[in-house]
């Protein structure tokens, strides 16, 4: 008997898209990709949703609010924000993000805040560097504040973000870098289907940086 999957893909305005009579997980993934591609489907393209998380497009107002302080971001966004966020690396990267978004507002689509739905709280960020519209490549970066680590949140966020990225026609390459001595990051990449590229290792002052690449097969829908 044909195995039946009944899964849900959440859209905005409380609209739900039900995938029925799909034979396997691959067919369900194709179903989700088609929904992400369809701008008229009712999906809020600034919001990606998983079982436990919301990935919210990091818009210009929120970037400015973050630089002004956590309290301002809470006021502007309507979400609680972990007092551990943003981490030092992302905080120092913010002025660069701000300047890029001012010049090219469409760049906000590539970076998302991670919100834990259960607490309605920002607990991290995930997104891409570079100019994917021009190069076809996106380098992913991500972090979860210490108090919420080791719960599988990054793996969960990566899985859905990759699904969304695969639905963007301009994306031809997805990769990420991590310090070799960061087992949690490497574990998340491995679980998400990334493949280690040993010929791309780099040595920096803080240690060895290793590159992982996600295999995209544009021959499949």
pLDDT, residue 176, reads 96
Contact indicator for 100, 128 with CB cutoff of 8 Å: no
Question: For the chain (length 221 residues), average pLDDT per consecutive 10?
Answer: 42 39 51 48 64 96 96 98 95 91 90 97 93 90 96 95 90 93 91 92 85 77 41
pLDDT (tens digit per residue) in 120-160: 999 999 998 878 888 999 999 999 999 999 999 999 999 99
pLDDT, residue 219, reads 44
DSSP character string of 78-133? SSEE-TT-S-HHHHHHHHHHHHHHHH-GGGGGGEEEEEETTTTEEEEEEEEES-HH
Partner residues linked to 138 by β-bridges:
174
pLDDT, residue 99, reads 92
Read off the pTM.
0.78
* C-alpha closest to that of 68 among 29, 28, 98, 42: 98
Query: Which residues have CB under 8 Å from 215's CB, separation 6+?
Result: 193, 195
pLDDT, residue 106, reads 86
């Amino acid at each position: 008997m044909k195995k039946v999957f009944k899964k849900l893909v959440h859209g905005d305005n409380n609209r739900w898209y039900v995938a029925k009579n799909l034979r396997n997980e691959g067919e369900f993934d194709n179903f989700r990709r088609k929904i992400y591609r369809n701008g008229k489907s009712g999906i809020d393209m600034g919001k990606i949703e998983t079982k436990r998380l919301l990935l919210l497009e990091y818009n210009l107002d929120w970037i400015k609010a973050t630089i002004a302080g956590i309290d301002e971001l809470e006021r502007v966004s309507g979400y609680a924000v972990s007092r551990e966020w943003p981490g030092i690396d992302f905080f120092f990267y913010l002025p660069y993000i701000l300047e890029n978004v001012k010049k090219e507002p469409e760049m906000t689509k590539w970076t998302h805040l991670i919100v834990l739905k259960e607490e309605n709280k920002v607990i991290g960020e995930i997104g891409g560097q570079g100019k994917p519209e021009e190069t076809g490549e996106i380098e992913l970066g991500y972090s979860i504040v210490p108090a919420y680590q080791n719960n599988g949140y990054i793996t969960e966020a990566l899985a859905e973000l990759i699904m969304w990225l695969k639905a963007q026609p301009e994306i031809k390459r997805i990769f990420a870098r991590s310090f070799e001595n960061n087992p949690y990051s490497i574990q998340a990449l491995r679980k998400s289907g990334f493949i280690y590229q040993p010929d791309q290792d780099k040595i920096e002052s803080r240690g060895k940086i290793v590159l992982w690449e996600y295999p995209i097969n544009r021959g499949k829908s």
